[in-house]
Amino acid sequence: MNQNSQQQIVTILNNTNSYLQANGMTMTEAQINDTSNSLLSIASSLTSALQVALNNPLSSDLAANLNYATTNYNDLYNVLPSDPDNIVYVEEMSSDEWAAYVTNMMQKSIAKTLANQLATTLDTLESTLAARAIATGNLPYYYSNYADGTGMVIAIDDASYLVGTPQMCDEWNFTLPSPVTHLNTNLITETTLIQIGLICYRTNPRTYADNFDMLITSGALEAHIKDENQNLIELVMDLSKVL
């Protein structure tokens, strides 16, 4: 997948996010389920494609980025960056090295944008599913879906029923500490309706991180707690107590 296609997917995901926000509550069950399946499958394909793009850039991207860097040389390299560590001496590079350097920088930027937009869109999907369940009184609510390497789990119930209960998303096991007082927040009591949301990736989407291959050796889990209006509740605790 070339970099232009990746940037187009950012737009598609953003449009999907906007559509869910505007129409998610009135979609049929079949429509929302199809959307969930599609987004999770796209997430799996994207995370794998981004890793490949970083490790094995396409020749077309190398050529396009070298042309961009050459055309915009003064704007890119004849300015002093705020951080001296970011100074680049392209004069010491061969054309191939320069192309590889610029392509890597561009790919990391695109990958970060894509990962963030993907997380935003999946979060909107989760909030939509949860809001639909709460609006129809379908409580307690449990949702689990998995497609091609990416999964989503939602659990909504009184806090007293969710603490101490393991929630599984692929190989990840997430358990809120029990009793409720161990959550260290006055926003949650035994009878507070809360929502646990988990999104698990077989391939870590944060491929843009420096030294990714050495620092990140597993998939990824995004976990959060929300109130009944899908507002995030911040918890301060030792992660070893929940994973």
How do residues 145-171 score in pLDDT, each as one tens digit? 999 999 999 999 999 999 999 999 999
92 or 181, which is more confident: 181
Say whether 60 sits in a helix, a strand or coil.
Answer: helix
* pLDDT value, residue 119: 94
Please report the pLDDT score of residue 121 as a whole number.
97
H or E element, residue 58? none
Radius of gyration of the chain (CA): 21
pLDDT of residue 137: 96
Question: What is the reported pLDDT for 55?
Answer: 86
Report domain extents, the chain.
3-241
Q: Which residues contact 222 (CB under 8 A, 6 or more apart)?
A: 119, 197, 198, 199, 200
Longest CA span, the chain:
66
Query: 44 pLDDT exceeds 70?
Result: yes
Q: Which residue has the higher pLDDT, 43 or 95?
A: 43
pTM, two decimals, is 0.87
Mean pLDDT across the chain, nearest whole number? 88
Residue 79: pLDDT over 90: no
Say how far apart CA 124 and CA 20 lie, in whole Å: 7
pLDDT over 70 percentage in the chain: 87
Query: Is a pLDDT exceeding 70 seen at residue 81?
Result: no
What are the pLDDT digits (tens) for 112-144? 999 999 999 999 999 999 999 999 999 999 999
Q: For 13-20, what is the mean pLDDT?
A: 97
Asked if 202 and 219 count as a contact pair (C-beta separation under 8 A), the reply is yes
Per-residue pLDDT tens over the stretch 95-104: 888 888 889 8
Helices then strands, each counted (H, E), the chain: 7, 6
More confident residue, 105 or 212: 105
The 3-state DSSP class for residue 76 equals helix
The string of pLDDT tens digits covering residues 171-228 is 999 999 999 999 989 999 999 999 999 999 998 888 777 666 656 677 899 999 999 9
What is the percent of the chain where pLDDT is above 90?
A: 62
Q: Would you say the C-alpha torsion 100, 105, 111, 117 has a positive or negative sign?
A: negative
